[in-house]
Amino acid sequence: MIIAQIADTHLGATDADDLTFRVRAENLQACITDINSLNPLPDAVIHTGDLTQHGQPAEFAHARELLAALNAPFYITPGNRDGRDGIAEAFAKEEYMKTDGSFVHYAVEAHLVRLVAMDSLGEPGEPKGEFCPDRLARLDATLAEVPQKPTAIFMHHPPFDVPTAPDPFAYQRREAVADLAAVISKHPQVVRIFAGHMHRPWTAEIGGVAASTVPSVATNLRYGEYPDEMAEQPIYQLHRFDSDFGFASETRLTEKVST
Ligand SMILES: [Fe+2]
Protein backbone atom coordinates (compact mmCIF):
# COMPACT_ATOMS: atom_id res chain seq x y z
CA MET A 1 0.00 0.00 0.00
CA ILE A 2 1.20 3.51 -0.85
CA ILE A 3 0.02 6.54 1.11
CA ALA A 4 0.74 10.06 -0.13
CA GLN A 5 0.79 12.54 2.74
CA ILE A 6 0.21 16.25 2.25
CA ALA A 7 -0.26 18.84 5.00
CA ASP A 8 -0.55 22.52 5.81
CA THR A 9 -1.78 23.83 2.48
CA HIS A 10 -3.28 26.95 4.17
CA LEU A 11 -5.48 27.77 1.19
CA GLY A 12 -7.39 30.98 0.66
CA ALA A 13 -10.66 31.47 -1.18
CA THR A 14 -10.86 31.16 -4.96
CA ASP A 15 -11.10 34.91 -5.38
CA ALA A 16 -8.22 35.73 -3.01
CA ASP A 17 -6.16 37.84 -5.38
CA ASP A 18 -3.23 38.00 -2.99
CA LEU A 19 -0.10 36.45 -4.55
CA THR A 20 0.47 34.46 -1.36
CA PHE A 21 -2.76 32.54 -1.84
CA ARG A 22 -2.26 32.06 -5.57
CA VAL A 23 1.08 30.42 -4.80
CA ARG A 24 -0.49 28.17 -2.19
CA ALA A 25 -3.18 27.00 -4.61
CA GLU A 26 -0.49 26.24 -7.17
CA ASN A 27 1.56 24.45 -4.52
CA LEU A 28 -1.33 22.05 -3.94
CA GLN A 29 -1.94 21.68 -7.67
CA ALA A 30 1.74 20.77 -8.17
CA CYS A 31 1.42 18.03 -5.54
CA ILE A 32 -1.78 16.71 -7.11
CA THR A 33 -0.16 16.65 -10.55
CA ASP A 34 2.83 14.77 -9.15
CA ILE A 35 0.65 12.29 -7.24
CA ASN A 36 -1.48 11.65 -10.33
CA SER A 37 1.68 10.98 -12.37
CA LEU A 38 2.85 8.17 -10.11
CA ASN A 39 2.72 4.62 -11.37
CA PRO A 40 1.29 2.89 -9.46
CA LEU A 41 -0.98 5.57 -8.07
CA PRO A 42 -1.04 5.88 -4.27
CA ASP A 43 -3.84 3.87 -2.69
CA ALA A 44 -4.71 6.80 -0.46
CA VAL A 45 -3.88 10.47 -0.02
CA ILE A 46 -4.03 11.80 3.53
CA HIS A 47 -4.05 15.47 4.50
CA THR A 48 -2.90 16.01 8.08
CA GLY A 49 -4.62 19.34 8.60
CA ASP A 50 -4.55 23.08 8.01
CA LEU A 51 -6.19 22.64 4.64
CA THR A 52 -7.29 26.27 4.84
CA GLN A 53 -5.89 29.50 6.27
CA HIS A 54 -8.98 30.74 8.12
CA GLY A 55 -11.43 27.82 8.10
CA GLN A 56 -13.92 29.81 5.98
CA PRO A 57 -16.55 28.11 3.76
CA ALA A 58 -15.16 29.84 0.64
CA GLU A 59 -11.71 28.45 1.43
CA PHE A 60 -13.06 24.93 1.86
CA ALA A 61 -14.97 25.30 -1.42
CA HIS A 62 -11.74 26.31 -3.14
CA ALA A 63 -9.90 23.38 -1.56
CA ARG A 64 -12.54 20.92 -2.72
CA GLU A 65 -12.40 22.35 -6.22
CA LEU A 66 -8.62 21.75 -6.33
CA LEU A 67 -8.79 18.33 -4.67
CA ALA A 68 -11.35 17.12 -7.23
CA ALA A 69 -8.41 16.64 -9.62
CA LEU A 70 -6.91 13.88 -7.43
CA ASN A 71 -7.07 10.39 -8.93
CA ALA A 72 -6.74 8.60 -5.58
CA PRO A 73 -8.99 8.39 -2.50
CA PHE A 74 -8.56 11.38 -0.18
CA TYR A 75 -8.91 11.50 3.61
CA ILE A 76 -8.44 14.45 5.95
CA THR A 77 -8.09 15.29 9.62
CA PRO A 78 -8.68 18.83 10.91
CA GLY A 79 -5.94 21.35 11.65
CA ASN A 80 -6.23 24.19 14.11
CA ARG A 81 -6.71 26.58 11.18
CA ASP A 82 -9.64 24.55 9.85
CA GLY A 83 -11.64 23.78 12.97
CA ARG A 84 -13.42 20.46 13.23
CA ASP A 85 -16.83 21.80 12.16
CA GLY A 86 -15.33 23.27 8.98
CA ILE A 87 -13.77 19.95 7.98
CA ALA A 88 -16.86 17.93 8.97
CA GLU A 89 -19.11 20.21 6.88
CA ALA A 90 -16.79 20.50 3.89
CA PHE A 91 -16.43 16.71 3.59
CA ALA A 92 -19.84 15.70 4.97
CA LYS A 93 -20.81 13.95 1.73
CA GLU A 94 -17.76 11.67 1.80
CA GLU A 95 -18.55 8.15 2.91
CA TYR A 96 -15.67 8.05 5.39
CA MET A 97 -16.64 11.27 7.21
CA LYS A 98 -18.63 9.82 10.04
CA THR A 99 -18.97 12.39 12.79
CA ASP A 100 -21.51 12.81 15.56
CA GLY A 101 -20.81 16.53 15.75
CA SER A 102 -18.31 16.30 18.58
CA PHE A 103 -15.04 15.13 16.99
CA VAL A 104 -13.72 14.26 13.56
CA HIS A 105 -12.76 10.68 14.27
CA TYR A 106 -13.12 7.85 11.77
CA ALA A 107 -11.51 4.68 10.47
CA VAL A 108 -11.00 3.65 6.84
CA GLU A 109 -11.21 -0.09 6.29
CA ALA A 110 -10.73 -0.19 2.51
CA HIS A 111 -6.95 -0.59 2.38
CA LEU A 112 -4.17 -2.97 3.37
CA VAL A 113 -3.36 -0.61 6.24
CA ARG A 114 -6.28 0.54 8.37
CA LEU A 115 -6.32 4.34 8.56
CA VAL A 116 -7.58 6.00 11.73
CA ALA A 117 -8.16 9.77 11.73
CA MET A 118 -7.60 11.29 15.17
CA ASP A 119 -8.92 14.74 16.06
CA SER A 120 -6.08 16.45 17.94
CA LEU A 121 -7.61 19.94 18.20
CA GLY A 122 -7.48 21.95 21.41
CA GLU A 123 -10.00 24.52 22.59
CA PRO A 124 -11.55 26.68 19.81
CA GLY A 125 -9.06 29.35 18.77
CA GLU A 126 -6.23 27.54 20.53
CA PRO A 127 -3.42 26.59 18.13
CA LYS A 128 -2.14 23.82 20.38
CA GLY A 129 -3.59 20.33 20.52
CA GLU A 130 -5.35 18.24 23.15
CA PHE A 131 -6.54 14.70 23.75
CA CYS A 132 -9.49 14.65 26.14
CA PRO A 133 -10.62 11.42 27.86
CA ASP A 134 -13.55 11.10 25.44
CA ARG A 135 -11.28 11.08 22.38
CA LEU A 136 -8.80 8.71 23.94
CA ALA A 137 -11.64 6.33 24.82
CA ARG A 138 -12.89 6.53 21.23
CA LEU A 139 -9.43 5.77 19.92
CA ASP A 140 -9.06 2.85 22.30
CA ALA A 141 -12.43 1.45 21.18
CA THR A 142 -11.70 2.01 17.49
CA LEU A 143 -8.36 0.21 17.75
CA ALA A 144 -9.92 -2.64 19.71
CA GLU A 145 -12.44 -3.23 16.88
CA VAL A 146 -9.79 -4.52 14.44
CA PRO A 147 -6.81 -5.76 16.44
CA GLN A 148 -5.11 -7.81 13.72
CA LYS A 149 -4.80 -5.36 10.85
CA PRO A 150 -1.77 -3.04 10.52
CA THR A 151 -3.02 0.43 11.43
CA ALA A 152 -1.74 3.95 10.84
CA ILE A 153 -3.11 6.89 12.83
CA PHE A 154 -3.08 10.34 11.30
CA MET A 155 -3.58 13.62 13.16
CA HIS A 156 -2.63 17.28 12.90
CA HIS A 157 -0.52 17.98 15.99
CA PRO A 158 2.60 15.80 16.34
CA PRO A 159 2.52 13.96 19.68
CA PHE A 160 6.25 14.41 20.22
CA ASP A 161 8.75 17.25 20.55
CA VAL A 162 10.19 18.80 17.41
CA PRO A 163 13.34 20.40 18.79
CA THR A 164 14.10 22.47 15.69
CA ALA A 165 10.78 24.35 16.00
CA PRO A 166 10.63 27.63 17.98
CA ASP A 167 7.99 26.01 20.19
CA PRO A 168 8.87 22.30 20.09
CA PHE A 169 5.75 20.95 21.82
CA ALA A 170 2.38 21.16 20.06
CA TYR A 171 -0.03 20.25 22.89
CA GLN A 172 -1.69 22.26 25.64
CA ARG A 173 -0.68 19.70 28.26
CA ARG A 174 2.34 17.40 28.26
CA GLU A 175 0.18 14.70 29.88
CA ALA A 176 -1.98 14.57 26.75
CA VAL A 177 0.84 12.86 24.88
CA ALA A 178 1.56 10.42 27.71
CA ASP A 179 -2.16 9.56 27.73
CA LEU A 180 -2.07 8.93 23.97
CA ALA A 181 1.05 6.78 24.31
CA ALA A 182 -0.69 4.68 26.95
CA VAL A 183 -3.57 3.93 24.55
CA ILE A 184 -1.33 3.23 21.58
CA SER A 185 0.93 0.88 23.49
CA LYS A 186 -2.12 -1.33 24.23
CA HIS A 187 -2.62 -1.94 20.50
CA PRO A 188 0.42 -3.51 18.84
CA GLN A 189 -1.20 -3.36 15.39
CA VAL A 190 -0.52 0.40 15.31
CA VAL A 191 2.54 0.65 13.09
CA ARG A 192 2.78 4.35 12.24
CA ILE A 193 1.62 7.84 13.20
CA PHE A 194 1.49 10.66 10.65
CA ALA A 195 1.20 14.33 11.63
CA GLY A 196 1.54 17.87 10.28
CA HIS A 197 1.40 21.28 12.00
CA MET A 198 5.13 21.93 12.37
CA HIS A 199 5.64 22.74 8.66
CA ARG A 200 8.95 20.87 8.80
CA PRO A 201 9.98 17.21 8.70
CA TRP A 202 10.78 15.29 11.85
CA THR A 203 10.65 11.71 13.04
CA ALA A 204 10.23 10.34 16.55
CA GLU A 205 8.65 7.47 18.45
CA ILE A 206 5.63 7.37 20.74
CA GLY A 207 4.30 4.34 22.58
CA GLY A 208 6.84 2.25 20.65
CA VAL A 209 5.49 3.46 17.28
CA ALA A 210 7.35 5.46 14.63
CA ALA A 211 5.84 8.91 14.15
CA SER A 212 6.62 11.77 11.80
CA THR A 213 5.74 15.22 10.52
CA VAL A 214 6.00 16.54 6.97
CA PRO A 215 6.95 19.96 5.55
CA SER A 216 4.05 22.26 4.69
CA VAL A 217 2.88 22.01 1.11
CA ALA A 218 2.68 25.83 1.20
CA THR A 219 6.21 26.79 0.20
CA ASN A 220 5.89 30.25 1.75
CA LEU A 221 5.19 28.66 5.14
CA ARG A 222 7.78 25.90 5.03
CA TYR A 223 10.40 25.75 7.77
CA GLY A 224 13.71 23.97 7.88
CA GLU A 225 16.95 24.12 5.95
CA TYR A 226 16.60 23.66 2.20
CA PRO A 227 18.78 24.68 -0.75
CA ASP A 228 17.64 27.97 -2.33
CA GLU A 229 16.89 26.27 -5.63
CA MET A 230 14.16 24.23 -3.91
CA ALA A 231 12.31 27.34 -2.70
CA GLU A 232 9.57 27.11 -5.32
CA GLN A 233 9.17 23.34 -5.19
CA PRO A 234 6.40 21.99 -2.94
CA ILE A 235 7.24 18.89 -0.93
CA TYR A 236 5.12 15.97 0.15
CA GLN A 237 5.85 12.41 1.30
CA LEU A 238 5.06 8.90 0.13
CA HIS A 239 4.80 6.14 2.70
CA ARG A 240 5.04 2.63 1.25
CA PHE A 241 3.84 -0.26 3.38
CA ASP A 242 5.09 -3.80 2.99
CA SER A 243 3.64 -6.56 5.17
CA ASP A 244 7.12 -7.92 5.91
CA PHE A 245 9.09 -4.71 6.27
CA GLY A 246 6.56 -2.12 7.47
CA PHE A 247 6.64 1.48 6.27
CA ALA A 248 9.38 3.15 4.26
CA SER A 249 8.98 6.87 3.62
CA GLU A 250 10.16 8.93 0.67
CA THR A 251 10.13 12.69 0.20
CA ARG A 252 8.87 13.96 -3.15
CA LEU A 253 9.79 17.28 -4.70
CA THR A 254 7.29 18.48 -7.28
CA GLU A 255 7.75 20.74 -10.28
CA LYS A 256 8.53 24.37 -9.51
CA VAL A 257 5.61 26.72 -8.97
CA SER A 258 6.40 29.86 -10.94
CA THR A 259 3.67 32.34 -10.03
FE1 LIG B 1 -0.16 24.85 9.53
Cα 133 to ligand 1 centroid, rounded to whole Å? 25
Looking at the domain assignment, is residue 232 inside a domain? yes
The pLDDT, as a whole number, for residue 259 is 63
Residues with Cβ within 8 Å of 51's Cβ and at least 6 positions away in sequence, in order, are 9, 11, 59, 60, 63, 76, 79, 81, 82, 87, 90
Task: Calculate what percentage of the chain has a pLDDT beyond 70.
Answer: 100
Q: What is the pLDDT of residues 23-82, one digit of tens each?
A: 999 999 999 999 999 999 999 999 999 999 999 999 999 999 999 999 999 999 999 999
CA atoms within 13 A on the CB side of 69: 16
Looking at the domain assignment, is residue 94 inside a domain? yes
Looking at the domain assignment, is residue 258 inside a domain? no
Cα 81 to ligand 1 centroid, rounded to whole Å? 7
Cα 198 to ligand 1 centroid, rounded to whole Å? 7
Cα 9 to ligand 1 centroid, rounded to whole Å? 7
Looking at the domain assignment, is residue 259 inside a domain? no
74-76: strand order across its sheet: 74-76, 44-47, 2-6, 235-242, 246-253
Tell me the backbone φ, ψ of residue 44, rounded to 5 degrees: -150, 150
C-alpha span between 216 and 221 (Å, rounded): 7
Cα 20 to ligand 1 centroid, rounded to whole Å? 15
User: Rounded to a whole number, what is the largest CA-CA distance in the chain?
Assistant: 50
CATH number of the domain encompassing residue 28: 3.60.21.10
Cis peptide before 40 (omega within 30 of 0): yes
Residue 77's SS3 state is: coil
Q: Which residues make up the environment of ion ligand 1, defined by Cβ < 5 Å? A: 8, 50
Pairing of strands 106-108, 114-117: antiparallel
Q: What is the pLDDT of residues 198-215, one digit of tens each?
A: 999 999 999 999 999 999
Domain count, the chain: 1
Residue 201 lies in domain: 2-253
Looking at the domain assignment, is residue 10 inside a domain? yes
Looking at the domain assignment, is residue 234 inside a domain? yes
